[in-house]
Amino acid sequence: MDFDKYKNTFEYPRTISRNCSCGAIFNKNDNFCSKCGNNVKKAYEDSIKERKEKIKAYNDEAQRLNELFKNDVLKYVGLENHPKKDIIYGKAYMDGHSYGYPGVLDELEELVDFIHDLGL
Ligand SMILES: [Zn+2]
């Protein structure tokens, strides 16, 4: 499987921008820029809002990629029509996701061998 396909390429904003349009950096409690006098309170509030929106977009993309991987990997191991596929995937995910998607695939392949041995 090509795991690069499931990499989240969206930006995750770790900090809130505090750059005035003049280039100065303001403090979060400033109302006006100490260098140019611009109202920076609104700029700061906009930065907070923008950061929240970017985080939401990042999380939505992560969820979309998770779903895409789940569908693809279940197909890859031949379980896409198995009646217990969600439970099986859930276990593989729990046990393997700390090693990323390759870890989930490893766990899933072991479970597939196991359920085939049992004739399930
Ligand atoms: Zn300024």
* Distance from Cα 10 to the centre of ligand 1, integer Å: 29
Dump pLDDT digits (tens) for 15-52.
888 999 999 999 989 999 999 999 999 989 998 999 99
Listed in order, strand segments (DSSP E) in 1-119 are none
* Distance from Cα 44 to the centre of ligand 1, integer Å: 12
* Distance from Cα 21 to the centre of ligand 1, integer Å: 6
Dump pLDDT digits (tens) for 55-106.
999 999 999 999 999 999 999 999 999 999 999 999 999 999 999 999 999 9
Listed in order, strand segments (DSSP E) in 33-84 are none
pLDDT at site 63:
97
Structure token digits, residue 94: 């729990």
Domain assignments of the chain as residue spans, ordered by start? 8-63, 77-120
* Distance from Cα 15 to the centre of ligand 1, integer Å: 19
What is the number of other CB atoms lying within 10 angstroms of the CB of residue 40? 25
C-beta of residue 11 within 8 angstroms of C-beta of residue 59: no
Q: Which residues are close to ligand 1, an ion, with C-beta < 5 A?
A: 20, 22, 24, 33, 35-36, 38
* Distance from Cα 36 to the centre of ligand 1, integer Å: 4
Residues 6+ apart with CB under 8 A from 84: 120
* Distance from Cα 45 to the centre of ligand 1, integer Å: 16
